[in-house]
Structures are given as C-alpha cells and as structure tokens.
Structure 1
C-alpha cells in the first residue's frame, strides 16, 4: 500500500480480559495532500472508544473496520484480538470468514460468465446443467434465470447454510442441492413462481455455483481465485481455508466468547469466503468507483453498474440488484450485504451518491451487536455529506 500508515497500540482492562488493539490510519488522498491524522477524525475516535467497549461487552474478541470516503479507503482501524489464548491482535492482514457477503463477491464470478458469453443472464439455467436438475414442481423451471437467482427473485428455497466443522468431509454440490445438509435437510426447489416475489435464497447461489463449475470445468474456488481475486489484487482472499490462510486467520468465538472450530462449506458461493479487511475494502472501492484499470478486465464498469441496479420485484422483506442487496437501517438505504456464520459476523455498506463506504469484520457470533453501533456512528457522518434516505 503506497499510503503512509500510522500505528497506535492500546491496552484495555486487566487480565484475563485484556484486549490489545492495533489501530492503523492511512491516507487515501493524493500524495500531494496531507494525510488526515486519526486524532483529527471524530469518527475514528468515536469508533475507537465504542469499539473497545462493544467488543468486551458482547464477547467478540476482535473487530476490523474500514471507512471509505470519496470512493477510496480513508483508513483502517483494528481493535482487540484475533486469538485470545495466544494474545494475537487483529491486524489489517487478519483473515475472517464473511458469511453471506460471500454472495456479493461470488456474483462477480457469475457475471463474468455472462461477459464471456458462457451463459446469458435471462436464459433458463436448468438446460445448462448436466450434473443436477431442478426437481419437478407446479412452477415453471424455465423461468429460473441467472438474473433472478442473483436477485433472489427466482422462487427458490433454502435460506441459508450452517456448514460443517473444519476437518470433516464435505458433501458434493449435488448432495447439498438434494437436501443432505444437516442444518435444514431441504432440497433446493421452486417454492414460488419465478419473477413474482423477492425471497432470499442461499440455495439459488448454490445452484449458480454448480452452473459456474459446469460451464468452466473448474472448481468454484479455483475459478474465483484465478479469474477474480488475482486480477483484482486480492491476494489474501479465498473460498477455501488454505494452510497459508490458517496461519493468519482469526479464531471464531461463539455467543459466550468461547472458541469454536471454523465452519467449512460445500456451498462456498453462498457462505464460504475468507478475506481480510484490506482486501474487502478494496473490493468496496471498486464497487463505488468501477475503475477500468483497477478492474483489470475482471468486469466491465457498466456490468457493475447493472449489478447495483434494483431488480424487480422487491418487497417489505428486501430487495436486490445482482448480488448487491438494498438495505434499510435507521431509515437510510444503502447497498452491500451483511454476513453471519457461527463465530463470525460482517457487514459491508455503500452509499453511492456520496461515494461513502463502511466494512466491518468480527470474529464472534455476537458481531452484529458490535457492527450495528459502528454503522450508526458512520451513518451520521454520511448524512452530513448529503446522503439521504431514498
């Protein structure tokens, strides 16, 4: 990273509830401009103070936060521990699982298939498949398209997945689609007439994962690494828990603050992505300002604009573009995604009119109790820039 980085280390409390935080502040301004010191940024200081309290109160050992302004990363702040037993602090290079934000990132891979001409956004998906097909139902499977899958309007079942403990054997994609998962035991099938209702479906993203593997003849994780992450410079991002990633990974903690084993997923596109705050913040930058040079032919800027455009129908329960969800917290509409897996919690919020963004990664099941107050603090600053409920 070419920007100057300032490091602050602080201690909180006394043993055994000591949290060591390492706070980084980096300037995203042009080299000719002075970096804004963290001491002069009220939001930085507010998050530093509240983050220390929130992590301890909610049994979430660590949190990493990135704030984006004018479409670029303004600073990264890390608080607390990646691992309590080893007194290992969270850093900008710490690996976190990001739950359902995996869907937002995987959508870039699926949309790349359309740019390559391997699939068409509005063609029926089922005829592309050979390894598995949608079960027969009262609804028309020919209406299940990639556009509808990515926008949660395809009428498909299975809200989410629980994964398996690391070290156990994974199901095949076909077994998962056939409902052999321990968490829900539900086959991916049509429960609504496609195109008539918004209903969140992790099952749809598992179907899209199979589609990508069929059309590229590669595993999903390999394809995403070679065609999305490497070209974007996301060197510490993977849909697999590799040995290298485990060496710098945070430990997951449950609601009581007890360490738990990592979850692994057959359904990688829906829930299985590991990344760092630096990598995901860069992804957020490209979502706000799709720069052709930085995109490195991964996607065209107008494809990202399309992905951030609402797909109808929406409902009181939600609405989506292609991978990007439209969220309304505190009466303010943003796009992005949130993610929850056992031991992990994450959020990514973008306000495109002000080119503002917030990325938060936590290594605890109660992480939403940490990131939501941080979101509230960030939102106040966005509103002062002219952001508004839309």
Structure 2
C-alpha cells in the first residue's frame, strides 16, 4: 500500500516537472521572439533589461513596421532606436541582428560606431577646456600648438579659433575621414594633420578666410583634438572617458575599441550586406566614437533639458545653451552651433548630428521647443536608408503635435 502511494506521488511530481519544463520552453521561445524587436517602457531606469512598451503607442508600432521593412530592403542587419518625449527617454526599440551569422540580436546595450555624431559629443570636452581656463573660445588656437602647426597661408591663421572650428566656420580643409581596418597601425595625429591619410591624402590647412563662410571640416575637429591633448597633456580618448563619459554615467561609450566594447559590439556590414572589419580612427574627435543607443539617448536628454543637476559639473548649463545656438555665418550649405548642427528635414528644424562610416550609420535629432528627440543607430553602410524613413515617421508626429 505504501509502495503504491509512493509511486503515485513520484508520478505526480514527474508530471509536474514535465509541465513546468514545457511552460519554461514556451516562455523562453516567446521571449526570444520578442528580443528581435522590443522596447523599454517610460520610467524604466537606464541599464535595465528591455520590457515591452505599450502596444497602444502608435508611433512605436509605425517605427517598428518602417524599421523592419527598411532593414530588410537595404542590406542593413539591425537598428536601435530611442525616442525622447518631454525631455526623457520614453522607449527604445531594437530591430534585427547585431551579427547575422550568429543570429545575435540588437539590444539597447549593443555597441555601434556613430561616425560624425562623434563631433557633437567631442564638443563637450572641448568646451570644458574653456571652463577650466585652458583656452578661450575666441583665442587663436595656433598659439597653443607645439606638436603641429597650421601651414603658412594667404589667409589669417590667427582667426582660427575654437568657436569657429566647432561651428565649421574656421575655413579649414578635409571634409571627412575613412579610418583604417581594425588591427592595422594608426597614424599619429601629426601625420593625419599633415595629410598622410589613405582616403584623401589632404592636409589640414586654410582654404578660405576664417569667419567668412560655413564649410564642413572634419579636419578642424582633428586640429581641436590636438588642441585638447596639448592643453591637458592627456590622450583625447582618456580625457573624454575620465572627464565627460564617466561623470555623465555613459559607461558604454568610448573613443577606442576596448575589449569590453568589442564584446558587445555589433558587426559592421557594407552596402551589399557583407560583414566587414571595424574601422578605427586616429581622428577620434571627428569620427571615432563607439556607444549604445541608451548612452547616446541619455546624452540627448541632457542636451534637451540642460539640467544642472544631471550635468554633474561636466558643463555649465549656460555653456550648453550657447553650444545649441547658431553661429554666424551660415548658408544653404549648412548651419551649426558648437558641435551641434541645425538640420531641416521634412520641414522640421532640429539640432543634433548624423554620422556615416563604412559599415555604420547614425542620426540624432532633437526638437528643443517640444523637448523631443530620436536616436537611431544602424550597423550597415546603407543605414541612411533606414534611419531616414524612421526619422520621417517621428518628424510627422512632432509636427502634428505642434498644431
């Protein structure tokens, strides 16, 4: 009798274990399905794992549809998106793969290179130099340079100032940089400034009178990178990590590809959808930043609110507000603040920046009057064909809400 009772109990336990295992597998499969396209709820603290956003958010649903279609049609494996409302991240969304071969999904913690968005972030460290009294915005920068000097020019070198460099009005050459494949030796800053880059072989020099026209110059930001190193006696990436990223809590942001960064990095893909090696840059201030959508969205939050309690003494809120104002001159070719560009797509003026490197594409757009923003990071050379239709959906909603 006792034996039969024990057998019945054992059978019940066995059945319960099987039931729990099946339920666990179903839950795991459902979670895995959501992982490829999920979002954080408003109010969830930064760094927490993703939760599903309310499906009543029509913008979320529209961006999900647009993003899935655009990634599929343009050989871009993945995209990470963060939407800011009322000065705070409302939700994030992760679509597709960080790595196609391993089926590794994009998450809010996935690392992306962000190309020229680097300039907007670099400007914080450079403006911090002015708060420390190491340089003034309107000082001639050449007086502080030792390792490399601007070459002689028919234009006035003394008019090349930090204000003009950061606003692309300094009259300097070199639009952008191509970087090098990871694992290859990098040029020194001096070599890059002297034009030994493989992409264009163009040295940084004056090509117009400073202060007379807007002309985009990645070369100017490389000169500013040298200025920071000369004035602080520290490497640019080290200084930015210690004095900007860590105080702001941007713990997954760096101008170098560290081992930790590589472990969580997306794979870069060319225009045909083939994986390529990451690009590394001597010209870090201009093009070399790696970050996550969560970190960059927090940076955008700070840019939108200018809240002194959140800036943690990295910058004064008054200086940040100066950075977000347009600097003369500007033209149909472009308009900038200090690090921030003014953009007008779909009839909506925003500040922020876009970025394109081989295998990567990114966009940060902020509409200050409504304290709104969107951050979009892609791991493909065709990423502009992904972020633009996503931006269009967001911009349409902002314009509707303004009416």
TM-score by length of 2: 0.90
Cross-structure match for 1:182 = 198
1:10: Cα distance to partner? 3.6
- Map of 1:145 onto structure 2: 161
Match for residue 66 of structure 2? 50
- Equivalent position of 1:15 in the other structure: none
The counterpart of 1:221, out of the listed 237, 243, 250, is 237
Kindly indicate whether the alpha-carbon contact (under 8 Å) linking 1:338 and 1:347 is maintained by their aligned counterparts in 2.
yes
CA contact 2:365–2:373 (8 Å) conserved in 1: yes
Partner of 2:11: none
The offset of 1:52, in angstroms, is: 1.0
> How far off is 1:22 after superposition?
3.5
In structure 2, distance between residues paired with 1:58 and 1:365: 9
**CA offset digits 1:216-269 (Å, max 9, x no partner):** 000000000000000000000000000011000000000000000000000000
**Whole-angstrom distance in 1 between the partners of 2:254 and 2:262:** 11
Deviations, residues 340-371 of structure 1 (Å, cap 9, x unaligned)? 00000000000000100000000000000000
Counting strand residues as a fraction of each chain, which structure ranks higher?
1
Show the counterpart of 2:120: 104
Conservation of the 8 A alpha-carbon contact between 2:38 and 2:53 = no
The question of 1:89 aligning with 2:105 is answered: yes
- Map 1:359-378 to 2 at 5 A: 359-378=375-394
CA 202–177 in structure 1, closer or farther in 2 if over 3 Å, else same: same
Query: Which whole-Å deviations, capped at 9, do the CAs of 1:268-324 have from their partners, x for residues lacking one?
Result: 000000000000000000000011121110000011100000000001100000000
1:156 aligns with 2:172: yes
Query: Which residue number corresponds to residue 39 of structure 2?
Result: 24
Distance in 1 (alpha carbons) for counterparts of 2:32 and 2:287: 33
Tell me if 1:386 matches 2:402: yes
Q: Is the 8 A contact 2:116 2:355 kept in 1?
A: yes
Match of 2:7 in 1: none
Mapped partners of 1:28, 1:371: distance in 2: 25
Q: 2 CA distance for matches of 1:248 and 1:133?
A: 38
Q: How does 1:110-259 map to 2 (within 5 A)?
A: 110-259=126-275
Q: Which residue of the partner structure matches residue 48 of structure 2?
A: none
Is 1:68 the equivalent of 2:46? no
Higher helix share goes to which structure? 2
CA deviation vs aligned residue, 1:39-62 (integer Å, no higher than 9, x gap): 010000001111111111100000
Q: Distance in 1 between matches of 2:94 and 2:44?
A: 20
Separation (CA, whole Å) in 2 of partners of 1:224 and 1:38: 37
The answer for unaligned runs of 5 or more in structure 2 is: 1-29, 46-50
Structure 1 vs Structure 2 CA RMSD:
1.5
Measured against aligned partners, the alpha-carbon deviations of 1:166-216 in whole angstroms (never above 9, x if no partner) come to: 000000000000000000100100000000000000000000000000000
Shift of 1:153: 0.1
Contact 1:25 1:38 in 2 (8 A): no
Paired residues of 1:9 and 1:23 also in contact (CA < 8 A)? no
2: CA distance, partners of 1:82 / 1:99:
17
Q: Secondary structure at the match of 1:159?
A: coil
How far 1:146 sits from its partner (Å)?
0.1
Question: TM-score, normalization: structure 1?
Answer: 0.93
Q: Which residue of 1 aligns with 2:25?
A: none
Consecutive unaligned residues in structure 1, runs of 5 or more? 1-6, 12-19
Output the CA distance in 2 between the equivalents of 1:314 and 1:83.
Answer: 41
Q: Which residue of 2 aligns with 1:338?
A: 354
Return the offset for 1:38: 2.7
Task: Give the conservation status (yes or no) of the 8 Å contact 1:27–1:36.
Answer: no
Residues 308-327 of structure 1 mapped to structure 2, 5 A cutoff:
308-327=324-343
Query: CA separation in 1, counterparts of 2:300 and 2:43?
Result: 14
1:3 aligns with: none
Structure 1 residue 8, shift from structure 2 partner: 6.4
Shift in Å at residue 28 of structure 1? 3.4
